[in-house]
Amino acid sequence: MSYFEPSALVAGQALFLQNYKKGEWRLPDTAVLASMYTGQKANPFLASLRKREDRSVYAYIPTRRAKGTDTSREHDHTGTRGDSKASTLSWNSIVEPFSISIKQMDNNLMSFEENYAAQLNSCIMNILERQEAAQLANLIADKTEINKGEIQGAWNSTDSVMEIYNAQSEKFFQNVRTSMDNNLFRNNVMVVVDSLAYMNADFNVNQGSQNGTNLGFQFAGMNIAKTTSTIDSDYSGAALAFDMNTVGIVPWIPVQNRKALDPRAALTYNGDYGSITVPVYDDKGNVAYSLDFAIHSYASRSDSSAKGGYKQDVTIEVEVSLDLAYLSAPLSTFRATGDWAGKADSMVYQFGLLPA
């Protein structure tokens, strides 16, 4: 006796409303990427010089001479020859592929278009997250071993970090600004901070006459970007500072991808190349700029019955990618003298607030 089992309702199924998707599809943190696009301004032809993935690209600047010791004019004076410094651009390729079949969604609540859009969006977010982590790692690895000038802290020569005393936490950013001034970077300084350091900035910038203490003065000439990533867990707040327009990224995609994807060609065996434009958001949720991602797609006959499709099916393979080169203005050994002899100079400075 079945007791009406054949006519029992199957499990109830429905799609979530759009607002319930916000948790799963939160925008990735791209604060570092947003603050580093200035590298493109260094030379707009750098990306165009890279014709293919295996071509090397170099950029050069003339370097300063070392200080002399002469104190009088001579009739037979002689001098040293000038020199230049090269910077090699190295692009990292971040690639995310996905697949879908023509018949995969025929017997599903979700449509083919919804599935395709979700997977494409996921790949884009994954690439942004991976590039964000890669460029933050580049900044940290590139930090200078030379940081001149006195502030309310001490130089950690082992880890190349200017450590600020915890008692000066309210003046953390004044110390950062003063240190950058001491190194002759006086305006338009970009400061990438972790969550702990940003809390100091957020508190101090909102102090004023009504709150008794004006701490907002210390942010003059600085652009602060908050990353949710960890810069250095040894400190109660860490920051990476660099002069704007001297440290950045250079985006690149293959020549064949610099056009729209042809949907008809994308469903053939040979497939097609194309690009999609992706906005990059700053830490305030505003669009900082856009990047062109490369996309490649092709199709082939398949039996996709084991993957939600059918025995006679067509599988579409899609690949999304983006290459970014980290670019930091090359520096000579001009400042590597005295106590700094043998040290590497760089545009990137790290700061850390010592724990209490």
User: Which band of pLDDT confidence, cut at 50, 70 and 90, is reported for residue 211?
Assistant: very low
Is residue 41 within 8 Å of 249, Cβ to Cβ? no
Given a cut of 90, whether residue 229 has pLDDT beyond it is: yes
The residue whose two tokens read 């990438």 is 192
Domain positions in the chain are 153-243+342-353
> How high is the pLDDT of residue 215?
43
CB within 8 Å of 344: residues ≥ 6 apart? 144, 145, 146, 336
User: Which band of pLDDT confidence, cut at 50, 70 and 90, is reported for residue 216?
Assistant: very low
One DSSP character per residue, 201-222 reads: HHHHHT--GGGS---GGGGTTE
> How high is the pLDDT of residue 100?
93
Helix runs in 8-45, H state only: 31-35, 39-42
Segment (H or E) for 132? helix 112-141
> How high is the pLDDT of residue 64?
73
- The percentage of residues in the chain with a pLDDT greater than 90, rounded to a whole number, is 50
Q: For the chain, how far is it from start to end, CA to CA, in angstroms?
A: 74
Please check whether the domain covering 153-243+342-353 is classified as CATH 3.40.1350: no
Look at 87 and 303; give whichever has higher pLDDT.
Answer: 303
Is residue 299 within 8 Å of 268, Cβ to Cβ? yes
CA dihedral 234, 344, 246, 204 (to 10 degrees): 30
Question: Quick one: DSSP state of residue 58?
Answer: E
Tens digits of residue pLDDT in 106-132: 888 888 888 899 899 999 999 999 999
The residue whose two tokens read 């070392």 is 66
> How high is the pLDDT of residue 43?
58
Tens digits of residue pLDDT in 24-73: 778 888 999 998 875 455 556 777 778 888 787 877 767 677 777 776 77
> How high is the pLDDT of residue 315?
95
Segment (H or E) for 92? strand 91-101
Given a cut of 80, whether residue 144 has pLDDT beyond it is: yes
Taking residues 79-102, report their average pLDDT: 86
Tens digits of residue pLDDT in 298-340: 999 999 989 888 899 999 999 999 999 998 888 888 899 888 9
CB within 8 Å of 282: residues ≥ 6 apart? 30, 31, 34, 35, 225, 288
Query: Can you tell me the distance from the alpha carbon of 169 to that of 8, in angstroms, rounded to the nearest whole number?
Result: 66
